[in-house]
Amino acid sequence: MGRYTLRRLLQLIPVILGTTFLIHFLVWNLPGDPFAGRCGERPCNPAYIERMTELYNLNDPLIIQYGKYLLNLLQGNFGEDFRGVPVAETMAEVWPNTVKLAVVALSIEIIIGIGAGVLTGLKRGGFLDNLVMISTLFLMSLPVFVIGYLLQLTLGLQLGIIRPTVSPEMPWSELIVPGFVLASLQVAFTARLTRASIAENMRADYVRTAVAKGLPRRRVVGVHLLRNSLIPAVTFLGTEVGALMAGAIVTEGIFNINGVGQTIYRGIITHDATAVVPMVTVLVLVYLLATLLVDLLYAVLDPRIRYE
Amino acid sequence: MRVSRGARYLAGAAVLMTAVAACGGGGGASGGGGKAAADAINVLGCEPENPLIPADANEVCGGKVLDSLFTGLVEYDPDRNGEPVNAVASAIESKDSKVWTIKLNQGWKFHDGTEVKAKNFVDAWNWSAHSKNGMQNGSWFADIEGFSDVFTEDPDGDGPQKAPEPKSSTMKGLKVIDDYTFEVTLSHPVSVFPVKLGYTTFSPLPDSFFKDPEAFKKKPIGNGPFKFVDRKNQQYIHEEKFAEYKGARAAKVNKLNWKIYQNEDSAYADLVSGKLDFMESIPPSALSGDKWKTDLGERAISGQQMVFQSVTFPMYNKKIWGNAEWRKAISMAIDRDTITDKIFNKGRLPIKGWVAPGVTGAKDGACGEFCTYNPEKAKQLLAEAKQKGFTPPAELKLFYNADRGGHKEWTEAVANSVTQTFGGEVKMVATPYPTFDEFRAAINDHKMEGIYRTGWQADYPHIENFLNPLYKTGASSNDGLYSNKKLDAKLKDADKEVDPAKSQALYQEAEAMLAEDMNAIPLWYYGLQAGHSPNVKNVKVTPFGELDVTSVELNKS
Amino acid sequence: MSDPTALQPGPVTTDAQATTESQATAPVGKPSSLWSDAWHELRRKPLFIISSVLLLVILVMAAFPQLFTSVNPEWADLKKSLQPPSSEHIFGIDIQGRDVFARTIYGARTSILVGVLATLASTLIGGLFGIVAGYLGRWADTLISRFAEIFLGLPYVLGAIIVLSTLAPVSSDPSRLRIMVIVILVMALLGWPILMRISRSAILAVKHSDYVMAARGLGASPMRIVFRHLLPNALAPIIVVATITVGSYIGVEATLSFLGVGLRSPVISWGLAISEHANYLRTAPHALLFPAAFLSATVLTFVMLGDAVRDALDPKLR
């Protein structure tokens, strides 16, 4: 197990390098000119373009550009974005917001998604089952921005229960609705996965054996059934941690949250890769660590899985 | 010009996806409450795209902040429809529109206490024009004699070669006569030169700027009615009243907070509830069905802006360019009235010329009947165009950018209008470029395979600003490569004319000549939909469609 | 209930083909057994019957929209913009002055094609890699998993903007079909790692079970182990996720359009219709809610069908 973990950690290095290079390459080489959109309907002052090109080493071959960037990065220098604002400053402002939102969303996924999945999986075909299945279906069938708008409109503007937008201090209470919007699709996925896997395992031999042994139902469900049935849901949630952060673009926009998704989106739209590369790198890192954790959890949850 | 106002937000369908301007509602008066600071007003701002240096601000967000921090030689008087009046300058004179003598008022101070002298202007202009400093607006000084000595270009455009070192660090056309007088020699006569001087780029810079530009970027020092206090990235910019301000239009409120929002809808919600005191861009969701007028009542402000919208034919692409009848046929197939009514809720108004109304020298009707919807005449013109040997493309694309500005709805409506007028004989399709920079790059490289949306927001309120940069052969923003020798000559005459009235008349004649070729089809100009909170009074809007921050006052509670 | 067989051929064969394709190379002794059993099981499920009838309707709508409306979905009368539903236009009028009912009917084709094809593509790619990774383990697992992580780490919009603008530059005049194909490819390219992980973990979960061990002990070939033993047992979660994916991809298509990088008008799709009218939700909800309702109904259909098929396919549930 220890050797496995170590190996996985070492594997992170090429993946991170590959990803940063890919992002660096892709964002700086998007079609169009990074500076063409910065001067309204008139061509930019050539002197301005030259200063910027110089500043970001855009005249160098790609690999040297990347090398210089990496060297700066290793020295802890993230550079400045096109507006002259240090990227490190932006990162420090933006990350806590996104993490907060992701934590709320993930909690909602776990509580509602797994909760509903377990409940319905144990009692298939009942009223509750149908209710949960139909409401998760409904959530899945609406694009995130429609759910966001609808909730903002009804709860925020018409009923006045929530603030239509989140205030900059990001109080937890104001994050519940945005968190739910962000989690909505995943909640549905999680609930369905859990339900399917519970229902399947209910018929498994070991459960039958446990029941036959006369173990109390609570123990059968809690120890035997849940442990095995949560694997698909855990996989799913693990892979979604990264997606929750990057995928918050729409939610952050609707609820006025200054987060990573918005910053990356802005960077792509304005062709400003300075903030995009480090942000995506961190996203990928978070993602990789989360999946590693998931893989390790496998072994804990399911003794049938072994890592050599 | 400054990047037009729409570019600040991803308007239209994507309004809430806000790209460029972002974030952080509320920040302003800590906690976002309107009452947090009784002597402060909270005004909708947006994140500047460049450092706060006057010559580097080519877009609205930085521009409006800098306008409150700096006062130039002249300012545009909101009480007189934006006519330029002397501010720091006491006199700007010339006999031939070529050599200008500028005298300054004494006693003006920068926020750091140093005096505003002639050399602050001359040094600032030399620095801003110098190509090594790479200021966005460096080319604004191109009219001054000796500009080519300080400004050099990369010989191969965008390649590995570097621009040669400029010969000099000063322009020989700028001469300091004494502390309060300087002389500007232009390389050719420019009658509107004094009007241009109100543009932010021509602001003076304090001596401390030249010692440490980096420190200045963090804390700009100007000579305007407000001084800079602090800013938080994507959240706010705080300013306070400059007590020693010498100008006629001193601030009446003690604190000015620019609050930056992620999207207009959340700003609007704050406006309605009084947490925001002013915003000049009511979002489409509130404009729809005139909801904003019921929401705001007397606090709603309607006006107009000096923003002109058009579609342009690339002259370099003969398949699209066709002949004049063809372009006129397209123009007459566009139902401007219904589109402005239904898509914009009358927030934009049809225009019959190439100059937004309200600017000095604007005269309605230059385009005449060709800017009127007339399906019959359009079909007739199309037939004539074909007779003259032009084959219209099977599908005429109307390009726009999808990421910001909210151009999807109207380009599609224009396309439908044209397609249906010609009964499918000409099929127009609105086609998006994913991002603005991709769109602009294609335009600047002259690669357009169809017609495309264009817009212009005045830098200064004068008819000249709508003509010279856009339609003169080789002009900076003449991106369709339009060229008309007669028009060039007429514009040159107007530039030379010393008498303002005569000069304006010549510009009007030039504008009328555009109707012959119809290289750009005028569509409409922007109205202004603004609103303020109950906390403020005496709210005035500048000709640029922004709050006049000096005249606004707080209601005593 | 009367014999439903007559009603079902359309949807069932499409779905069955989809699943058989993924195991097309299976050298199964009695290839029909599992599937014919499933088929037998399915015919008696009311859930299956309802969903396949619904799907049939949707498919007919997608194939022959003219049957449902005679209104030209492209005809725009801007003067009527955003009019609420009336007897003349039962779903009302959209922002451009077009009939919402006609556009909703015509939108079915694009939305369903995009959703189904993108899911098929990502399930095939993801499933294949997942099985290989899960079964072979070791370096193959490592390689595939790390490779997938690069895609997963990439934010969706970034990937979509890049691929869409490099493959379909506006100036090159791509045909509508090509834009659609490219959108599908982008969705598959960015979506397969999820299915890869799901199928990998499903395989991992059964890899060490007794019956697999037994089969291996008996000298079964890897192919046989994968297709006879692992796949049928791992198929359930894959199918659940895949059916849900069809729905979510229809929604993703809407989001991409919303961000300006997905389908473009003049293509008619539900996603486009929804994103075009998000701004008018307060004043003209009909223009958004009707296409959204159709979208929901379609997703519902797919998931119900998926549930039914899964129940029938899973030998353990019989």
Q: Mind listing the pLDDT tens digit for each residue in A34-57?
A: 787 777 777 788 888 888 888 888
Chain C nearest-CA distance from A84, in A, is 23
**Cis amide leading into B164 (omega within 30):** no
Domain architecture of chain A: domains with CATH = 2-74 (no CATH), 88-301 (1.10.3720.10)
Residues C78 and C24 sit within 8 Å (Cβ to Cβ): no
Q: pLDDT tier at C166 (50, 70, 90 boundaries)?
A: low
| Fold for the domain defined by C35-66+94-317 | MetI-like fold (1.10.3720)
Query: Average pLDDT, stretch A258-277?
Result: 82
Query: Average pLDDT, stretch B81-107?
Result: 93
> How far apart are the two ends of chain C, measured CA to CA in Å?
22
Q: What is the mean pLDDT of chain C?
A: 77
DSSP β-bridge partners for residue B260? B45
For A50, half-sphere exposure in the C-beta direction (CA atoms, 13 angstrom radius) is 25
Q: Where are the domains of chain C?
A: 35-66+94-317
Touching subunits of A (3+ CB pairs, under 8 Å) are B, C
Query: Average pLDDT, stretch C176-188?
Result: 83
Secondary element (H or E) of residue B335: none
B258 versus A297: which is more confidently predicted? B258
Provide the pLDDT for residue C174: 55
B198 vs B84: CA distance, rounded Å: 7
Provide the pLDDT for residue B17: 29
Q: Mind listing the pLDDT tens digit for each residue in B336-394?
A: 999 999 998 888 999 999 999 988 899 988 998 999 999 999 999 999 999 999 999 98
Touching subunits of B (3+ CB pairs, under 8 Å) are A, C
Chain B nearest-CA distance from C281, in A, is 8
Query: Average pLDDT, stretch B316-327?
Result: 94
* CA-to-CA separations, C295 to B353, C104, C289, in angstroms, rounded: 45, 9, 10
Provide the pLDDT for residue A104: 93
Using the Cβ of B477 and the Cβ atoms of chain A, whether some distance falls under 8 Å is answered with yes
Query: Average pLDDT, stretch C164-192?
Result: 74
Q: Strand B99-104 and strand B89-94: pairing?
A: antiparallel
Query: Average pLDDT, stretch C42-53?
Result: 84
A192 vs A197: CA distance, rounded Å: 8
Q: C311: Cβ–Cβ under 8 A, 6 or more apart, which residues?
A: C41, C45, C317
Q: Mind listing the pLDDT tens digit for each residue in B273-297?
A: 888 999 998 887 788 788 899 889 9
Using the Cβ of B230 and the Cβ atoms of chain A, whether some distance falls under 8 Å is answered with no
What does R_g of chain A's alpha carbons equal in angstroms? 24
Q: pLDDT tier at B261 (50, 70, 90 boundaries)?
A: confident
Q: Which residues 284-323 of B are in CB contact (within 8 Å) with C?
A: 284-285, 288-289, 291
Whether the per-residue pLDDT at C25 is higher than 50: the answer is no
Whether the per-residue pLDDT at C83 is higher than 70: the answer is yes
C183 vs C114: CA distance, rounded Å: 8
- Residue of chain B nearest A50, judged by CA positions: B134
Residue corresponding to tokens 């999946």: A291
Whether the per-residue pLDDT at C15 is higher than 60: the answer is no
Provide the pLDDT for residue C152: 73
Chain B nearest-CA distance from C218, in A, is 58
CB contact under 8 A, A232 and C162: no
CB-defined contacts B:C, below 8 A: 89
What does R_g of chain C's alpha carbons equal in angstroms? 22
CB contact under 8 A, C276 and B343: no
CB contact under 8 A, A196 and C237: yes
B307 versus A19: which is more confidently predicted? B307
- Name which of A154-168, B210-224, B279-293 the model is least confident about: A154-168
Provide the pLDDT for residue B208: 95
Provide the pLDDT for residue B179: 95
- How many CB atoms are closer than 10 A to CB B219? 14
Rounded (5°) CA angle B59-B226-B249: 100
Residue corresponding to tokens 């009692």: A123
Chain C nearest-CA distance from B35, in A, is 30
Q: Look up the ipTM and state it.
A: 0.76
- Name which of A117-131, A176-190, A233-247 the model is least confident about: A233-247
Q: pLDDT tier at B227 (50, 70, 90 boundaries)?
A: very high
B196 vs A134: CA distance, rounded Å: 64
Token pair belonging to B479: 């991106």
Whether the per-residue pLDDT at C4 is higher than 70: the answer is no
Token pair belonging to B52: 């706060």
- How many CB atoms are closer than 10 A to CB C207? 21
B369 versus C176: which is more confidently predicted? B369
Comparing CA positions, the residue from A65, A70, A52 lying closest to residue A13 is A70
Q: C217: Cβ–Cβ under 8 A, 6 or more apart, which residues?
A: none
Provide the pLDDT for residue B557: 57
Q: pLDDT tier at A247 (50, 70, 90 boundaries)?
A: low
Query: Which residues of chain B are within 8 Å of residue C276 when distances are taken between CB atoms?
Result: 13, 408-409
Residues B487 and B513 sit within 8 Å (Cβ to Cβ): yes
Q: pLDDT tier at B18 (50, 70, 90 boundaries)?
A: very low
Residues C34 and C313 sit within 8 Å (Cβ to Cβ): yes
Query: Average pLDDT, stretch B451-469?
Result: 92
Residues B60 and B547 sit within 8 Å (Cβ to Cβ): no
pTM: 0.83
Query: Which residues of chain C are within 8 Å of residue B434 when distances are taken between CB atoms?
Result: 161, 164-165, 170, 260-261
B282 vs A127: CA distance, rounded Å: 47
Q: What share of chain C is helix, strand, coil (3-state, %, to 5)?
A: 75, 0, 25
Query: Average pLDDT, stretch A216-223?
Result: 80
- How many CB atoms are closer than 10 A to CB B230? 10
Q: pLDDT tier at A75 (50, 70, 90 boundaries)?
A: confident
Comparing CA positions, the residue from C231, C289, C305 lying closest to residue C23 is C231
Instruction: Tell me which range, A96-100, A191-195, B253-257, C39-43, is most confidently predicted by mean pLDDT.
Output: B253-257
Provide the pLDDT for residue C169: 59
* CA-to-CA separations, C195 to C115, C127, C134, C188, C206, in angstroms, rounded: 15, 6, 12, 10, 17
Provide the pLDDT for residue B206: 96
CB contact under 8 A, C258 and B17: yes
B225 vs C13: CA distance, rounded Å: 76
DSSP result, A56-96? TTTTS-HHHHHHHHHHHHHTT---B-TTS-BHHHHHHHHHH
Provide the pLDDT for residue C3: 31
Beta strands in B425-479 (DSSP E): 427-433, 451-457
Residue from the list A141, A193, A199 with its beta carbon closest to the beta carbon of C299:
A141
Using the Cβ of B526 and the Cβ atoms of chain C, whether some distance falls under 8 Å is answered with no
Percent above pLDDT 90 for chain B: 62
CB contact under 8 A, B135 and A47: yes
- Name which of A61-65, A112-116, A239-243, C136-140 the model is least confident about: A239-243
Whether the per-residue pLDDT at B247 is higher than 50: the answer is yes
Would you state the torsion angle of the CA atoms of residues B528, B534, B535, B539, taken in this order, to the nearest 10 degrees?
30
- Name which of A213-217, B157-161, C123-127 the model is least confident about: B157-161
Q: What is the mean pLDDT of chain B?
A: 87
Chain A nearest-CA distance from C166, in A, is 7
Residue type, B101: T
Whether the per-residue pLDDT at B503 is higher than 60: the answer is yes
Instruction: Tell me which range, A131-140, B287-296, C209-218, is most confidently predicted by mean pLDDT.
Output: B287-296
Domain architecture of chain B: domains with CATH = 17-274+533-554 (3.40.190.10), 304-528 (3.10.105.10)
CB contact under 8 A, B409 and C276: yes
Whether the per-residue pLDDT at C30 is higher than 60: the answer is no
Residue from the list B10, B136, B477 with its beta carbon closest to the beta carbon of A48:
B136
Q: pLDDT tier at C38 (50, 70, 90 boundaries)?
A: confident
Residue from the list A137, A143, A189 with its beta carbon closest to the beta carbon of C274:
A143
Chain B nearest-CA distance from C99, in A, is 14
Provide the pLDDT for residue B154: 66
* CA-to-CA separations, C182 to B276, C168, C189, C261, in angstroms, rounded: 44, 8, 10, 11
CB contact under 8 A, A84 and B51: yes
Q: What is the mean pLDDT of chain A?
A: 81
Provide the pLDDT for residue B510: 96
Query: Average pLDDT, stretch A60-78?
Result: 83
CB contact under 8 A, B14 and C161: no
Provide the pLDDT for residue C16: 34
Chain C nearest-CA distance from A50, in A, is 25
Q: pLDDT tier at C260 (50, 70, 90 boundaries)?
A: low
- Residue of chain A nearest B261, judged by CA positions: A256
